[in-house]
Structure 1
Amino acid sequence: MGQARKVVVATHNEGKMRELRSILNGFLPHEGQRIELVSAGQLGLPDPVETGTTFQQNALIKAGRAARESGLPALADDSGLVVDVMGAAPGILSARWSGRHGDDQANLELLLNQLNDIPDGHRGGRFVCAAALVIPDVPGYAVRGSQVTRTGEMPGSIIRQARGENGFGYDPIFVPRDQPRRARDQEPLTSAEMTSDEKNAISHRGKALAAIMPILVSWVLGDGRVRS
């Protein structure tokens, strides 16, 4: 077996990195030994300014910057919570909804306050994720100078009080529509009450990465043909 190919994941969020590794290992049980994931934080890469107006644009900005600065294939995602009654907000501003980027508790509390008077039947929403893969224009890959995006969604609703200790972000107040088998005879679980395997099986990020994984394997390890 040859030396593993490195792929940089364009994130400094260790919680997200753990989730991404878990998802990718599930999709790449064999190829995983030939693909080594490293984070942008591990490589000392700066966070780019996310100037896009869509999840897809911001994912490409992050992956493109990481690929250019590292010379490695780069995988990035941009995701957020879309609340129907709020006109698709917080959307791309989800991570900095309170005005402080990455302050999960402040973001969560502000959103709950904004939805305080909204009846339970009108608190629907969905998590959306766009995953982007960028291959730099350097020798050694089946495809060079290419990029692709894929998206995934997890519909559900926002409850009034946080529940659960797992996950991150808005997970403690979001109840996905699709529930694990063990929840059939009890109160529906929030994303933060699910195990990582349960959440990954239904999550927006899991769906987006499932769609992009065959492309990553083909472009990084294979002959460059996109397979479904």
Structure 2
Amino acid sequence: MVLASRNDAKLVELRRILAVAGLAVELVALPDGPDVPETGATFAENALIKARDAARVTGLPAVADDSGLAVDALGGMPGVLSARWSGLLPGAGRAERDAANNALVLAQLADVPEERRGAAFVCAAAVVTPDGAEQVVHGQMCGRLVRVPRGDGGFGYDPLFLPDGQNRTSAELSPAEKDAISHRGRAFGQLAGVLRELLAI
């Protein structure tokens, strides 16, 4: 199967999640080429846009996700704009973009008290086959945002996000600990069952 992403960190994470789910497939990254614009208004719409394009281009079953951070005090934003929240152009490096996005969210919440710093990571995971079959599942991880980034694991907003029931941010958890509770782990755990039925594996 092809992952409709060129994010190496995401590829490693999803290979790990699907392996734990016992799914015997080889997941490869999308070949080099132009990125399909993510024009959907929801995570599910964007996941399907990417998976449909990858299945069309490669002729392989394709999986994709669209994930992001929904902050209570920001009315659910950044949401589908999470990766582009700071306004940096796509040509900017991932680390630079992550740092800018995190800095902007922290600045926007600077005066927000602890009890109103609730947030959730949300994931929509889609599979599309070359013959047109498609399905979307969802996962969510609730928590709150800390005031100072902590940890050097994960990517994106992980250093800011303290999952419910944890005293460490997502970036301070081990990969296995994060996968067990994360929005992406929950969504792709469900998707593994869908893939078994859809692909008869």
Given that 1:178 and 1:202 are in contact with CA atoms closer than 8 Å, whether structure 2 keeps it comes out as: no
Q: Compare relative contact order (CA 8 Å, sep 6+) and give the higher one, 1 or 2.
A: 2
User: Residue 211 of structure 1: CA displacement?
Assistant: 1.0
Residue 121 in structure 1 maps to residue 115 in structure 2: yes
Aligned to 2:125, what secondary structure does the other structure show? strand
Provide the C-alpha distance between the structure 2 equivalents of 1:82 and 1:215, rounded to a whole number of angstroms: 26
**Could you list the runs of 5+ residues in structure 1 that have no partner in the other structure?**
1-6, 138-144, 180-187, 223-228
TM-score normalised to the size of structure 2? 0.94
Residue 67 in structure 1 maps to residue 55 in structure 2: yes
Letter of the 2:61 counterpart: P
Provide the C-alpha distance between the structure 1 equivalents of 2:34 and 2:141, rounded to a whole number of angstroms: 29
User: Residue 121 of structure 1: CA displacement?
Assistant: 1.1
> Percent sequence identity over matched residues?
51
For residues 1-228 of structure 1, what are the structure 2 equivalents within 5 Å?
A: 7-28=1-22, 31-32=23-24, 35-40=25-30, 43-100=31-88, 101=90, 102=94, 103-137=97-131, 145-179=132-166, 188-222=167-201
User: Residue 177 of structure 1: CA displacement?
Assistant: 0.3
Aligned to 2:38, what secondary structure does the other structure show? coil
The Cα offsets for residues 85-118 of structure 1, whole Å up to 9 and x where unpaired, read as 1000000000010012441000000110010000
The range that moved more, 207-216 or 68-77, is: 207-216
The Cα offsets for residues 197-228 of structure 1, whole Å up to 9 and x where unpaired, read as 00000000011111111111222234xxxxxx
CA RMSD of aligned residues (A): 1.0
Letter of the 1:161 counterpart: V
User: Residue 46 of structure 1: CA displacement?
Assistant: 2.7
- Rg comparison, structure with higher value: 1
The Cα offsets for residues 52-95 of structure 1, whole Å up to 9 and x where unpaired, read as 00000000000000000100000000000000010000000000
Letter of the 1:216 counterpart: L
The Cα offsets for residues 151-189 of structure 1, whole Å up to 9 and x where unpaired, read as 01000000100000100000001000043xxxxxxxx00
Letter of the 1:61 counterpart: I
The range that moved more, 208-217 or 154-163, is: 208-217
Letter of the 2:173 counterpart: M
Given that 1:158 and 1:175 are in contact with CA atoms closer than 8 Å, whether structure 2 keeps it comes out as: yes
Moved over 4 A (4+): none
